Amino acid sequence: MELSKLTSKGQITIPKKIRQALQVEEGDRVAFIEEDGFVIMAKADLQQLHDLQDILSDEKFKSLIQKAHHHL
């Protein structure tokens, strides 16, 4: 788990480990998708968003989100 602090302007710094995992650099766009109270962040390119759409529609993923939600 990585943490970041929200500024008064609503900005966060994406931790280096997460930037590397998403392969994002300065100037790249990222997408935020809210799903049942959780936010998923992905690199905003067509292939990544297509892959994410497949993941979000997967029943195993939906079950995982529901389990995580109940454990909070």
Of 10, 9, 41, give the one whose Cα is nearest residue 28.
41
Q: What was the pLDDT predicted at 6?
A: 96
Q: Residue 34's domain spans which residues?
A: 16-71
With H, G, I as helix, E, B as strand and everything else as coil, classify residue 42: strand
pLDDT > 90 in the chain, percent: 35
Amino acid 46 reads L
pLDDT > 70 in the chain, percent: 81
Q: What was the pLDDT predicted at 49?
A: 66
Q: What is the pLDDT of residues 23-51, one digit of tens each?
A: 999 999 898 888 778 888 888 876 766 67
Domain count, the chain: 1
Answer yes or no: is 1 within a domain.
no
Answer yes or no: is 65 within a domain.
yes
**pTM passes above 0.85:** no
- Mean pLDDT taken over the chain: 82
Answer yes or no: is 41 within a domain.
yes
Whole-angstrom distance, CA of residue 43 vs CA of residue 30 = 5
